Structure 1
């Protein structure tokens, strides 16, 4: 009995060993991320070259580069110097737009999409258009040239716009309702 008690004590003491950390069998090197970055940089360079070719071919208009990563030109500019209001966070805008590929193939024609009402930076809208609307004044029409990452990106619109398509978007800003006015109407 004494031997059994000693054996049980030895087994109990051996079982109280502290746990050891298990290390992963496979360790990731991060090379997938590096490859993805390189691929995206290459895609952007290609799209910027396409956009620059469109700009070079259109000698009738003056294009401006946005610090947000897209280009634009005025089709109709507001010449009323008294009205310089541009939409800000929370303002509600009403606008119409059409979308084409960079080579001019119509994706969504003018009037095909209903007039859109949008609360600036408070609703879902692709990033280039969201930023482009903030550059506009009431009554202006601007054509934007967006690289795919500023448009619908990798996923497209799951309808007519495919993966990684740079786009031309013509936008007419119909009306701006300032945030204060918008709250008073409720």
Structure 2
């Protein structure tokens, strides 16, 4: 993704965050009480979050290590004892409002978050309705999400409902 951005969207490339400080990653793991899922830890080694719509369509932005910790702590506090609900069914389409074993990694800025669960699935944790783990090829895993974004950048093919557009060196996503 970085190579494509550097060549075709240099403004967006220049806006990419530097890697997360190892101390920030360690602090995040201390707050959430568990190691970060490997794909998320690897992502933070590349970039400590992004701005809105920098890499992901639909207004999502990747959270920094500090934002992950802050979001996890806030949602866990709001959920209270309900954050301990057992969510051990990898086939379940819906989860509770919050589970302390979910790790938020992206935000839409409106209180909704993408989370990665203990099975490596991506869920859409809505601030009103709870979390959905809809079967969807784009959200099947964090590596798959990154792979699909990279493929869309390289090929120009639509990413489900979105296509890439570059204007004055800046990447943008448009609904098709």
TM-score, structure 1 as length reference: 0.28
Structure with bigger gyration radius: 1
Structure with higher helix content: 2
TM-score (ref. length: structure 2): 0.29
